[in-house]
Amino acid sequence: MQYKSQAVAKPYFIAAIGLFVGQILFGLIMGLQYVVGDFLFPAIPFNVARMVHTNLLIVWLLFGFMGAAYYLVPEETETELWSPKLALALFWIFLVAGALTIVGYLSLPYAKLAELTGNDLLATMGREFLEQPLITKIGIVIVALAFLFNITMTTLKGRKTSIVLVLLLGLWGLAVMFLFSFYNPHNLVLDKFYWWWVVHLWVEGVWELILGALLAFVLIKVTGVDREVIEKWLYVIITLTLITGIIGTGHHYFWIGTPEYWQWWGSIFSALEPIPFFAMTIFAFNMVNRRRRDHPNRAATLWALGTGVMAFLGAGVWGFLHTLAPVNYYTHGTQITAAHGHMSFYGAYAMVVLCIISYAMPVLRGRAANSNKAQVMEMWSFWLMTVSMVFITLFLTAAGVLQVWLQRYSQTPMPFMEAQDQISLFYWLREGAGVIFLIGLVVYIGSFFVKGESKAQTT
């Protein structure tokens, strides 16, 4: 570890992995509820499990991004963090606030939670992914601003590399777009229109800048390729991201009451959205092929390549599958959407966070790379999780195609629940793949505890 203050990244990474486990457990509960409808009812109704599943995902990724920033920024800017104490204080505030929110979801009826947390002052709750109580939302803003202040101050006093600038742009964008979560007009169409300014402009906009910056950082470290080359690629990728992704928001404006010209804008621009992901895959492989050194951390290299491929498949290919308006007319709001959501979040964001953890954690623990034994175990977990996610996606896609056929496309459309009964086989298969994913995650965590000879110490 080059800078002492980088150490604050460690608790962030540990918390991220812990919350990741929680996310997967609730995913398995929901997966089972799809086929055994009354499982854990009324203790944990589906909507509560889903809220916990998706909110934990967002929060663990945010922990991952923040940890990544605390690790990356000092090294890139070649200076200690402006305030490691602030970073540590924010860690505890965010963790406690997040935990209390989850406890609130699980222990109180949602309407009661809303009443207790000031939703009557400003109603922001009960919208997909933005279910957090008002006080939690305000907490997120405060933590985000203090975090951004800390890393921006660090950057201002140090070297300003392109990677840091792109990372900062992405993180500031994340915080700014989140402010739209406080805008909840009575008019449902307006509500939905601006809701996407948080959700879409996060995951198909500013988050991709964070993804690109983290990937570029790890690639410089593990390949030793010239920074000029990598940063040029980074700019090309994020240019492609934003020129396709911003207008690509239009693919959410097909059927929610918005003007029909969005069917053209949305279809055309989002059909181009796979391009930046493809570029990212090419980028990762190209840099590894042109490597100037063989970094002892092969696991991190595997994650870097994996995130390129899986982001392209999940976000690029599975996104394209249902993004053209005439197709989306039939697939909108079916299991096809769920299939795309699972693989894209895993491929783009879960994997890039696991990539930076894989690279940084050994260094934070005082070695360049883990022992061979630990790395082999980590790579096993990579394959278990990644392959099972491919199967989760394939089974959900099969379920979705059948659902569309039975309920939407047919001359004699079936009611929703009847169609669901017809496709339950695929929900069982998905649950099975989910169990393998959990096993992969357990193996992943196990890899942190494998001893054996560690590679050369870093200074």
Q: Which of residues 131-150 bind another protein (CB under 8 A)?
A: 131
Q: Does 78 bind another protein (CB under 8 A)?
A: no
Tokens of 216: 């570029």
SS (H, E, C) 313-363: HHHHHHHHHCCCHHHHHHHCCCHHHHHHHHHHHHHHHHHHHHHHHHHHHHH
The one among 223, 297, 301, 335 contacting another protein by CB under 8 A: 335
Looking at 16-24, 309-317, 367-375, 410-418, which segment touches another protein (CB under 8 A)?
Answer: 410-418
Tokens of 25: 């457990």
The one among 75, 76, 204, 231 contacting another protein by CB under 8 A: 231
Q: Are residues 4 and 80 in contact, defined by beta-carbon separation less than 8 angstroms?
A: yes
Tokens of 58: 């967002």
Q: Does 329 bind another protein (CB under 8 A)?
A: yes
Q: Are residues 358 and 374 in contact, defined by beta-carbon separation less than 8 angstroms?
A: no
Q: How far is the CB of 131 from another protein (least distance, A)?
A: 6
The one among 238, 302, 315, 343 contacting another protein by CB under 8 A: 238
Q: How far is the CB of 27 from another protein (least distance, A)?
A: 13
Q: Does 76 bind another protein (CB under 8 A)?
A: no
Q: How far is the CB of 389 from another protein (least distance, A)?
A: 18
Q: Does 116 bind another protein (CB under 8 A)?
A: no
Q: Does 119 bind another protein (CB under 8 A)?
A: yes
Q: Does 424 bind another protein (CB under 8 A)?
A: no
Q: How far is the CB of 67 from another protein (least distance, A)?
A: 26
Distance CA 371, CA 381 (A): 16
The one among 332, 340, 367, 430 contacting another protein by CB under 8 A: 332
For residue 338, which of 325, 322, 316, 349 has the smallest C-alpha distance?
Answer: 322
Looking at 8-16, 65-73, 298-306, 326-334, which segment touches another protein (CB under 8 A)?
Answer: 326-334
Q: Does 326 bind another protein (CB under 8 A)?
A: no
Q: Does 50 bind another protein (CB under 8 A)?
A: yes
Q: Are residues 360 and 13 in contact, defined by beta-carbon separation less than 8 angstroms?
A: yes
Looking at 141-149, 241-249, 287-295, 378-386, which segment touches another protein (CB under 8 A)?
Answer: 241-249
Q: Does 58 bind another protein (CB under 8 A)?
A: no
Q: Are residues 447 and 370 in contact, defined by beta-carbon separation less than 8 angstroms?
A: yes
Tokens of 82: 């402006």
Is it true that the peptide bond before 42 is cis, omega within 30 degrees of 0?
Answer: yes
Q: Between 96 and 115, how does the x/- string for binding to another protein read (CB under 8 A)?
A: --------------xx--xx
Tokens of 112: 């009661």
Cα angle 137, 140, 144; round to 5: 145
The one among 2, 116, 179, 187 contacting another protein by CB under 8 A: 187
Q: How far is the CB of 275 from another protein (least distance, A)?
A: 13
Secondary structure element (H or E) that encloses residue 140, with its range: helix 134-156
Tokens of 73: 């920024």
